[in-house]
Structure 1
Amino acid sequence: MNHPRTLRVDYDQTASVMCVVGSELNVNLNRSAPPSSKFFSVKCTPSVQYSIIPTPLKESHLSPIPLHGKSVLLIGMSRASQHENDSKLSIRYYGESEEVLGRAVLHLTAVEISLDVDADRDGVVEKNNTNKGSWKWGPNGHGAILLVNCDTERKFRKKLDSESEEVSEHSDLKDMTVMALRTKGPAKLPEGYKLTMHISQGDAESVRVFKLRSPDTTGNILTENLFYKYFEKAFPLVLSSKVLSQEVPYLGGTAEMNFYVEGLRFPDKDFNGLIRINLSLLEPISTGLPETPIFTDTVVFRVAPWIMTPNTLQPSEVFVCSTSDNYRFLKSMRSLVAKSGYKLNICHEYMNRGDRWMQDELEFGYIDAPHKQFPVVLDSPRDGKLKDFPYSQLLGPDFGYVTRMAEEDDVSSLDSFGNLEVSPPVTVNGKDYPLGRIIIGVAFPTATKGRNMTKVVQDFLWAQKVQEPIALFSDWLYVGHVDEFMTFVPAPDRKGFRLLLASPDAGYKVFRGLRNAGHGQAKLFEGLKDEEQKTVDEILDDEGLRGENNYVQHCIDWNRDVLKRELGLDEDDIIDLPILFKLVPDKKEEEFRALAYYPDMVNMIVLGKNLGIPKPFGPKVNGRCALEAEMCALLEGLGLSCTFINDFASYHKLLGEVHCGSNVRREAFDFKWWNLEM
C-alpha cells in the first residue's frame, strides 16, 4: 500500500528522517536547492531506493543532472532498519560550472508498520492486504467483518456484552474480530515518535477496541492463560466513544500485537454499517507543539447484519407457552415436535403471565462472520406480558439479543412479529436473493389513516440490506398480520418451496362442491361446545358473508400480485387454501376489519416436512372433515405431512392460531451474506 509523503530538505543541513517501508518520500529538489543551482546528484546506501522525475538522460545519478523547476526525488526503503539512522542519502547541488553549492544529508530510519485484518474473509488475518482499507460485496469482494457483541457471558447478572466497557470472560473475545498490529524495525522508535490508533467521532458509537495488556506490572508478559486470574485488567480498552485516540506500544524488532474489535450496534437508518480504524505514526515537531502524522494505515469493517430464517431452513428448536387453558394444544404440539425430532421449549406461566403469543413477541435470526456465528433474537416493541422472555430466558453466551424501542403511542398490532416473515431464496428478473426477502404488513398505500409497523423497526429491517424487505397490505385484517393470509412450505420441485395463500374463492369452491354432491346440510363447527353450527347451505346462502369475502379476496389478490412481482413467482408456485373470513367492527378505528371465519389453516407451524395446521372443524363427509381432506390433497403431493391441531378455544377464539402461539429457531443459511452481489 503506497503512502506518498512530502518531505522538506534543507541544503547544508543533516536531518534524521523516519520512513515506513512501502511508503514514498517526495522531495521537490528545486524548492530545497541553493540559489543559482543548475545541477544536482544523489548518493545513498544500499537499502535506500530512489528515482527522479523527470527521468534524467544520464545513466548515473552520481554525475550532475540538470535541475528543472519540477524536479522531484522519490525516496523509499527496501527493508526495515536494525538501528536508528542506519541508512543515508545525500543530495549535492551544483552551479553553472558544476561547482558544488551545497549538500543535504538525510539519515534514514525505516520501520515496517501494518494494521491487519481478515480482509479476504477466510478466517485468517493476512499481512498488509492491499484491499483492507475498503469494502466490496460479492464472492470476489473484500473487507473485514465485525459482529455486534450482543450476547452476554455473564451467568448471574445479565447485561449485553456491548453495554460493558470491559471483557467479562475469556469467551467474550471469541465474539470479537481480531485486528493485528505488525511492526518491524529498531528496538525503539527515535525520540518523540509514537504510534497512535484512532477512530472518527462518527464511528465511535459503533465500535470498541481492546488489547491484551503487555507487559504487566511485574515486568512479565501477560499471557492469555494468566487472563483467567486477572481478566478484569488483562484487556484494557483502547478505543471507545470516550477515547477516540490512544497511543499504542511499539514493541521493537519483529513484533505482532493483537487487538480485539467489537461492534456495538447494528446497521440502521443513521449507520450504514461501515467502520474505519486508523493507525498513525506521529512525528515530533518541537517542544510544546503537537505531533503530526507522517504515515496512516486504515482498515475497514462492515458490521454483520441481522438475518432472518425462512420456513425452508432446518428447525433447531420450537418455543410455545403453557397457560391454564391450553393443555390440549400443548399436548398436540409435544407430539408433533417429538415426531419431527426437534427440541421443544415451554415458557411457563410464571414467565408468560398469560401471554401465549410467542410468535408476536419475538423473531429469531442470526449474525455471521468468518470467525463466529450465533443466533440473535429480535424483540418486538409490542411489549405484552411476554416482554421479559427474550431478554431473561434467551439472552446468554452465544445467544444474542436486539430490540428497537418505539414511543408507546406509535406501537400498534402491526408491530407484533406475526407481521414479520421472510421468503425462501428467490431470483427476480435475474437478481438473486440467496437469503430471501423480508415481508412486512402495512396500511394500504393510498390510505389516509391506518396502522403501520413502527418506523424504527422498518428502518432497522431495511438497513440490514441483505434481505431487501417487501411491504404487503395487511391493515384490512383485524389483527393485521401477514401470517394470517400467507406462509411458505418446502417443496421438492420448482423453486424449492410453495407460497400458501388464504383464499375465500377456494373456500367457496369447496363448499359449492359439497352442496353439489348432496352435502348441503353438513355442518361447520360440529362437536364444538357453545359454538353456533352452520350448514354448508347456510354459508353459501349468506349474501352478506359472500360480499365480505369478495372484499377479502380482493385484498389478498392485491398482495398476491405484489408477491408474484417481488419474489419472481408464477401461478404454479402458489397454492390457494380454502379459508373464509368475516368482517367485524374495529371500535378503535371505527371501521370493519377481517377475521378468519373458522380456524385459519394458513397460520401453521412448519417443521421440515411436518405441518402443524389449525383444525378447521369443517363439514364432515363420511366422517372426515372436508376442509382437512382438501388441505391434505393440496399439500401431501409435495411430500408434506399434515397434522391438525385443535387450537379453537385456546387460540382461535382469542384471534390467533398455531403459528401465532409458537415460534421456531432454525439453522442458518449455508450462503454467506458477504458474498451477495450488490
Structure 2
Amino acid sequence: MSFHRDWGCPSAPPENAMPPSPHARARLLPLLLACLLASACGPVADDEGGRPGSEDPLEGPFHPVVDLRADVNRNGIVELDNPAEDEDEDTWTAERGAIFLANLDDDEHACPFSMDPHRISDDALAQCHDAMDAVVNGESDLEDLARLRTVPWPEAPAGTVGSVIVSGAAGKKVRLFKRVRGNFISGGFPDTVFLSTAEIRRGVVLAIEGRDIVRDPEEWDGFADVVLTIGRNNPHDPVFTDTVRMRVAPVVLFHHMTPAWNVFVSKPAASIEANQFRQALGGVLADSGERMVYSEFAVDDLWAQDYFEPAYMSMPAPEGRQHVMKVNYRAPHVYNTDANAPLRAAGRIAFWLRGPDTAAIQQYQQGMSMASQTLNSFGNTEVIPPYEKDGVTYPLGRLFRGRGPDSRPDYQPDPSFTQMLEAQAVQPPIYVDTSWLFVDHVDETFTFLPAPTPRGWIALVADPALARRILQDAQARGHGDAKLFAGLSWAYSIPAEASIAEVLDNPGLMDASAVAALEIDTQLSILREETGLTDADIIRVPFLFQNASDGVTAYQPATLNLLSLTPTQVIAPDPHGPLLDGEDPFKTRFEEALGAHGIHVHWVDAWAPFHIAQGQVHCATQSARQVPDVKWWEGGR
C-alpha cells in the first residue's frame, strides 16, 4: 500500500530522531522547499509524474488560496463544496470539530504474540500495532485513518510551495500521510507533509493517524492543530496559513444499557468445578435465545472480569454511522519483579484479542504496594449508565471505581492507569472507599441494570440488614432449622451448611454484616449525591457478610454480582438459601424485584470454585457489548 519517497536534500532524519520544534520547522520550511524545487537536488515526482518548480517563479502580488478541510461537521466525509466544513474549523466543541483514531489495532495480524513472557515481554507486546510504522497496512488500516484535503488553487504561480504540519505536543503523537499515485505515504517527519506547486494547484488528500491515546494530559491533551502553510520561494514574501483542530477519540467503556454480544470466561486446566460452571453458563447462553459469542481462554486464572476490560473508540462515518475500533485494556496488576513480565499473566489475553479493528492498551506503574493491586482489577471499575443531574448530562455514563482512603496513599489504584482513564474525559469517574472489603471491588456491592423507568436504569445495592430481617422473619415463622448451603462445603471440605438459627446466633457474621451495612450506606450516599438516585431507582439485594483476613466478604452468594446479557436477561449466582415451603426466599425476592422491571433471571451454580474464593458470576465472566447509538463527541466533553 505504500512506497518510499525520496524527498531529496536535505536528507530525511530517521524516525526516532528528535524533530525540530514547530517554530524552527516553520523557519526551515522555505529552505527545505527551495531545495526540493531546485534542480540540483534531483527530481521529486508528484502525483502526475511532473517535476514541481520547473516553471520560472512568478513576480508580483501573491494572494494564495489556503484552505485545509477536515470532517468538521462530522458526517464522515470531507467536503470541499460545503462551506460548513470551513466554519470554526480551528475550534472543537460538542457540535463541531474533526476527529481521528489512535491506530492501535493490528489489521494484518503482523504483531507477534505469546503467553510466554520470555519469548516476548509485556512491554514488547504493547509496542506493536499499526501506528508503530510509517506504512498504511492495507485497505482495512486505511479505514482507520481520518482524512484531510486541501482546496485546489489551480492558478497557483510557479514557485508556490507548502506544507502541512501538526503543531505542538501533538506532533509526536500523530502521523500524517499524503496520497501519491493512489497510495498514502509518510515522509521523513511523521508530523509534516510537503506540498509541491502541482499539488497545491490540484489539491491533495491527506490522512492522519494517532500513534497513541491520551495517557497524561499534561503531556498531550488529545487535540491536534493541523496547519496548512503556503508561501513562495522568496524569502521576502509572507506565508499564509489555515488551521484545523482535531481530537483523538477517547476510549469508552461499556455500560449495561446495551446488550452483550461476546461473553468471555477462563478455562483453567485443572478445575473440575470451573469446567462445570462453564458448561452451565454455556447452556444458559444457549437458552437465552440471543445470538452470542462464547469465548473461553485457556488461562489458569479464574477471574475473567478482572484481568482485561473491553471498550471502544470511534469516529464519524458516512450516513450517521460510527467507525468503531474495539479496545481491550489490560489490567495494571504488577505482580512480579521480572522485567519481562511484571504484570498479571492472564492479562496478555488483551493482546491475543488484538487484530483487525481491535486494539489492546497497557499502562502501569511500578512501586505500589502488593496489597493495593486488587484495586486494579476491572471488577473494581464499573460504569454507571447515562443520566442527567442539575442540568449536567453524562450521555455515556460515568466510571464507578473503588479506592482506599486518603490516609493510605500506598493503597490506591495504579496512579498512571487512573490518570489515563480520567484523561479520556467522557466518563468522569465517581470514587468510593472499598478498602473495607476483602477483595476491594465495587462489583461486590453495586451493579446497574436497564429498566423501563423515568431514569432508564436501576441500581442494585447490597443490603445485609435486609438479609438479616428475612432470616429473622423465617425463624419467627418456625423455620429456624431450615438450612442455608445444604450439602455444600467451603474450601478444604469444611462443611458450609448452617441453619437459620445458627446463622443469626453467629456474632462474627452479624458484626461483619453490620460493618458492611454502614460502609455500603456511605457508598450509596456518594452515589445518591452524584447521580440523584432516589429510593424508586434502587433495588435492595439481601445477603450477609463474613469476616476475612483483611476486611469482609460475602457470606451468601452475592446475587447482584451478575452478568447482564440484555435489557431483559441476567445470569446470577444461585444463593443456596434455605427452602421455606419449597422456595428459597432469596431467589424469590430477587426474581420478583427484577421481574417488576421486565428482567428474567437465569440461575447458575457459582459456589465452587468462585464463591468459596470470594467471587461470583460477574467476577468469573467478562463481556463485550454493542456500541451505544449515542456518539461520544456529542457529549460536550
With normalisation by structure 1, the TM-score equals: 0.76
SS at match of 1:202: helix
Q: Deviations over 1:191-238 (max 9, x none)?
A: 3x411222235112211011122xxxxxxxx23xxxxxxxxxx43214
What displacement does 1:549 show? 1.3
8 Å CA contact 2:487–2:496 kept in 1: the answer is no
Asked if residue 208 in structure 1 is aligned to residue 208 in structure 2, the reply is: no
Q: Deviations over 1:345-397 (max 9, x none)?
A: 33242xx1x112111011111111112222211111123231221101x1110
SS at match of 1:412: helix
One-letter code aligned to 1:380: A
Asked if residue 331 in structure 1 is aligned to residue 279 in structure 2, the reply is: yes
Alpha-carbon distance change, 136 to 449 in structure 1, aligned in 2, over 3 angstroms: closer
Match runs of 1:391-402 below 5 Å: 391-392=351-352, 394-402=353-361
Aligned-partner Cα distance in 1 for 2:303–2:134: 35
SS at match of 2:204: strand
Match runs of 1:269-668 below 5 Å: 269=216, 270=218, 271-285=220-234, 293-323=238-268, 324-325=271-272, 326-340=274-288, 341-349=290-298, 352=299, 354-371=300-317, 372-382=323-333, 383-392=343-352, 394-407=353-366, 409=368, 412-445=373-406, 447-448=407-408, 451-529=411-489, 530=493, 531-586=495-550, 593-608=551-566, 609-668=568-627
Q: Deviations over 1:481-527 (max 9, x none)?
A: 10011101121123111100111111111111111111011111112
Aligned-partner Cα distance in 2 for 1:298–1:509: 66
Q: Deviations over 1:258-296 (max 9, x none)?
A: 11100122223332111011121234446xxxx875101
8 Å CA contact 1:511–1:540 kept in 2: the answer is yes
Asked if residue 248 in structure 1 is aligned to residue 195 in structure 2, the reply is: yes
8 Å CA contact 1:85–1:109 kept in 2: the answer is no
Q: Which moved more, 1:158-167 or 1:359-368?
A: 158-167
Residue of structure 2 equivalent to 1:108:
61
Alignment match of 2:158 (pick from 178, 184, 190): 190
Asked if residue 676 in structure 1 is aligned to residue 635 in structure 2, the reply is: yes
Aligned-partner Cα distance in 2 for 1:207–1:319: 33
Aligned-partner Cα distance in 2 for 1:472–1:292: 61
Q: Deviations over 1:627-668 (max 9, x none)?
A: 212211221111111122111112111221110111111111
Alpha-carbon distance change, 433 to 545 in structure 1, aligned in 2, over 3 angstroms: same
Which 5+ residue runs of structure 1 have no aligned equivalent?
A: 1-82, 87-105, 214-221, 224-233, 587-592
8 Å CA contact 1:112–1:185 kept in 2: the answer is no
Aligned-partner Cα distance in 2 for 1:236–1:253: 17
Higher strand share: 1
Alpha-carbon distance change, 606 to 178 in structure 1, aligned in 2, over 3 angstroms: same
Alpha-carbon distance change, 112 to 583 in structure 1, aligned in 2, over 3 angstroms: same
One-letter code aligned to 1:551: V
Aligned-partner Cα distance in 1 for 2:250–2:78: 21
Alpha-carbon distance change, 309 to 110 in structure 1, aligned in 2, over 3 angstroms: same
One-letter code aligned to 2:404: A
Aligned-partner Cα distance in 1 for 2:237–2:435: 60
Q: Deviations over 1:7-38 (max 9, x none)?
A: xxxxxxxxxxxxxxxxxxxxxxxxxxxxxxxx
Aligned-partner Cα distance in 1 for 2:177–2:192: 13
8 Å CA contact 1:433–1:467 kept in 2: the answer is yes
SS at match of 1:557: helix
Aligned-partner Cα distance in 2 for 1:426–1:389: 33
- Aligned Cα RMSD in Å? 2.2
Aligned-partner Cα distance in 2 for 1:210–1:132: 24
Residue of structure 1 equivalent to 2:11:
none
What displacement does 1:545 show? 2.2
Match runs of 1:215-254 below 5 Å: 222-223=181-182, 234-238=183-187, 240=189, 243-251=190-198
Which 5+ residue runs of structure 2 have no aligned equivalent?
A: 1-54, 113-127, 318-322, 334-342
What displacement does 1:239 show? 6.9
Residue of structure 2 equivalent to 1:77:
none
Alpha-carbon distance change, 299 to 601 in structure 1, aligned in 2, over 3 angstroms: same
Alignment match of 1:176 (pick from 134, 142, 145): 145
Alpha-carbon distance change, 248 to 147 in structure 1, aligned in 2, over 3 angstroms: same
Residue of structure 1 equivalent to 2:6:
none
Alpha-carbon distance change, 640 to 197 in structure 1, aligned in 2, over 3 angstroms: same
8 Å CA contact 2:66–2:229 kept in 1: the answer is no
Q: Which has the larger radius of gyration?
A: 1
Aligned-partner Cα distance in 2 for 1:110–1:408: 59
What displacement does 1:110 show? 4.2
8 Å CA contact 1:112–1:184 kept in 2: the answer is yes
What displacement does 1:623 show? 2.7
Alpha-carbon distance change, 406 to 572 in structure 1, aligned in 2, over 3 angstroms: same
8 Å CA contact 2:161–2:200 kept in 1: the answer is no
Aligned-partner Cα distance in 2 for 1:208–1:178: 12
8 Å CA contact 2:66–2:240 kept in 1: the answer is no
Higher helix share: 2
What displacement does 1:332 show? 1.5
Residue of structure 2 equivalent to 1:13:
none
SS at match of 1:204: helix
Residue of structure 1 equivalent to 2:108:
154
Aligned-partner Cα distance in 2 for 1:523–1:370: 57
One-letter code aligned to 2:275: Y
What displacement does 1:156 show? 4.6
Alpha-carbon distance change, 239 to 636 in structure 1, aligned in 2, over 3 angstroms: farther
Residue of structure 1 equivalent to 2:45:
none
Aligned-partner Cα distance in 1 for 2:408–2:423: 26
Alpha-carbon distance change, 369 to 422 in structure 1, aligned in 2, over 3 angstroms: same
Alpha-carbon distance change, 450 to 525 in structure 1, aligned in 2, over 3 angstroms: farther
One-letter code aligned to 2:452: P
Aligned-partner Cα distance in 2 for 1:253–1:486: 58
One-letter code aligned to 2:105: D
Alpha-carbon distance change, 564 to 239 in structure 1, aligned in 2, over 3 angstroms: farther
Aligned-partner Cα distance in 2 for 1:184–1:132: 21
Aligned-partner Cα distance in 1 for 2:549–2:480: 30
Alpha-carbon distance change, 597 to 246 in structure 1, aligned in 2, over 3 angstroms: same
One-letter code aligned to 1:462: E
8 Å CA contact 1:197–1:278 kept in 2: the answer is yes
Aligned residues: 538
SS at match of 1:296: strand
One-letter code aligned to 1:377: N
Match runs of 1:87-166 below 5 Å: 107-127=60-80, 129-138=85-94, 141-158=95-112, 159-166=128-135
Aligned-partner Cα distance in 2 for 1:441–1:253: 55
